[in-house]
């Protein structure tokens, strides 16, 4: 996984899974899946997994980590490797990404948006268009489409001229941004438990009392929909109206209450109270909007609560200056076991 993702649990995922334990009769639901590090670990442990994220780009990236070779045969295209070979050999196209997120943007606005070189932006447009065409002709399944979109997002991320997120571009080309964009096939497993995906608000994720829900909500002011807007555009394959120096797509409708200091505590409590699942795990950070002691007190009203302190990890570091100034933050994992009586009332 080549993403530097805000709040990633890649460095503590094994500890988290040790606390969650082995599969039971229910499904493991990763309701804020991000790039899917925890979801993949759960799948490898044998859980049936459902991933969800309000951003389609994150949900697709997570889902692609859960499928196996038998789930995505690409039989109409001669196999996965053949499909990737075709994508890499496409003629570049001047489409939306080229027009808005390369220096070509200066042709219609006052800003040269240096997210991608013009050549790489045209490759993204060509590849995304081909994936769309294959899906419309039913040459690929929905799962195969998601795998290829995830491959494209990873390829784009490797050559993006950014400091790790897409909130802005850099004013000078970085070495990796001058490399040619190349799709690389993902290392798929031979087999995997059943996986499913949704891209809806967390309150709309379906679950049952037997399921185990893992929650990793945002805990700072950073709005993911704005920070990863170009990946969202690649995932959706649309052409939204964009504005400003950075060309950010409209994102306010996906603004998260968890990112606002005055709303976060109540949003977490209301979400967990409404979930039908009896076993709920909540990841949080000592740098989050809600103090850990306050959060623990609120959760104790919903059921039996255990607090596991995980290892300290580094703050998100978008650049060298931030790395030098940053300190470690503490990661914690709450386990909430809701009583059957309360669960029945919520249902």
- What's the pLDDT score for residue 319? 45
Q: Can you give the pLDDT at residue 95?
A: 98
DSSP H helix total and E strand total for the chain: 13, 7
Cβ(223)–Cβ(259) below 8 Å: yes
| pLDDT confidence of residue 344 | 54
Query: What confidence score (pLDDT) does residue 325 get?
Result: 41
CA 123, CA 80: separation in Å to the nearest integer?
Answer: 19
Confirm if 54 and 22 have CB atoms less than 8 A apart.
no
Q: Is 296 helix (H, G, I), strand (E, B) or coil?
A: helix
167-214 pLDDT per residue, tens: 999 999 999 999 999 999 999 999 999 999 999 999 999 999 999 999
Q: Are 117 and 111 a contacting pair, CB within 8 Å?
A: no
- Between these two residues, 165 and 255, which has the higher pLDDT value? 165
Determine phi and psi for 279, rounding to 5 degrees.
-105, 115
pLDDT value at position 316?
45
Q: Could you give the CA distance from residue 100 to residue 115 in angstroms, rounded to a whole number?
A: 9
Closest CA to 154 of 177, 175, 182, 128: 182
User: What is the average per-residue pLDDT within 268-285?
Assistant: 95
CB–CB of 150/143 below 8 Å?
no
Amino acid 251: pLDDT: 82
Per-residue pLDDT, 322: 42
d(CA 53, CA 146): 14
The sign one gets for the Cα dihedral 339, 342, 346, 347 is positive
Q: List pLDDT tens digits, range 30-78.
A: 999 999 999 999 999 999 999 999 999 999 999 999 999 999 999 999 9
Q: What mean pLDDT is reported for the chain?
A: 90
Mean pLDDT of 104-109: 96
Taking only the tens place, the pLDDT of each residue in 313-336 is 554 444 444 444 445 578 999 999
Q: Which residues does 279 contact at the CB level (< 8 Å), separation at least 6?
A: 26, 211, 212, 213, 335, 336, 337
- Of 21-25, 47-51, 262-266, 313-317, give the lowest mean pLDDT range: 313-317
Give the whole-angstrom CA distance, residue 84 versus residue 18. 36
Instruction: State how beta strands 212-215 and 328-337 pair.
Output: unpaired
Distance CA 343, CA 209 (A): 7
């Amino acid at each position: 996984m080549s993403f530097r993702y805000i709040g990633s649990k890649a460095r503590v995922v094994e500890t988290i899974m040790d606390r969650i334990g082995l599969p039971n009769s229910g499904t493991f639901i990763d309701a804020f899946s991000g790039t899917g590090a925890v979801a993949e670990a759960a799948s490898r442990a044998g859980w049936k997994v459902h991933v969800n994220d309000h951003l389609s780009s994150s949900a697709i990236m997570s889902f692609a980590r859960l499928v196996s070779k038998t789930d995505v045969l690409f039989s109409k295209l001669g196999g996965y490797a053949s499909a990737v070979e075709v994508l890499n050999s496409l003629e570049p196209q001047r489409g939306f990404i080229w027009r808005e997120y390369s220096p070509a943007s200066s042709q219609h606005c006052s800003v040269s948006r240096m997210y991608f070189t013009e050549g790489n932006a045209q490759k993204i447009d060509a590849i995304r268009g081909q994936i769309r065409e294959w899906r419309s002709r039913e040459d690929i399944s929905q799962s195969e489409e998601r795998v290829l979109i995830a491959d494209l997002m990873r390829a784009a991320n490797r050559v993006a001229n950014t400091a790790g997120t897409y909130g802005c571009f850099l004013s000078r080309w970085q070495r990796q941004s001058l490399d040619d964009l190349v799709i690389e096939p993902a290392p798929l497993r031979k087999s995997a438990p059943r996986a499913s995906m949704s891209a809806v608000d967390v309150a709309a994720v379906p679950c049952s009392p037997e399921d185990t829900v893992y929650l990793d909500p945002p805990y700072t002011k950073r709005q993911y929909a704005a920070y990863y807007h170009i990946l969202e555009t690649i995932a959706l394959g649309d052409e939204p109206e964009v504005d400003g120096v950075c060309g950010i797509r409209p994102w306010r409708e996906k603004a998260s209450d968890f990112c606002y200091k005055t709303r976060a505590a109540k949003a977490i409590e209301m979400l967990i109270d409404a979930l039908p699942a009896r076993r709920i795990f909540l990841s949080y950070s000592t740098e989050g909007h809600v103090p850990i002691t306050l959060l623990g007190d609120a959760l104790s009203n919903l059921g039996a609560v255990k607090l596991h302190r995980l290892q300290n990890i580094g703050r998100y570091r978008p650049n060298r200056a931030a790395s030098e100034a940053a300190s470690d933050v503490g990661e914690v994992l709450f386990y909430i076991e809701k009583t059957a009586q309360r669960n029945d009332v919520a249902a």
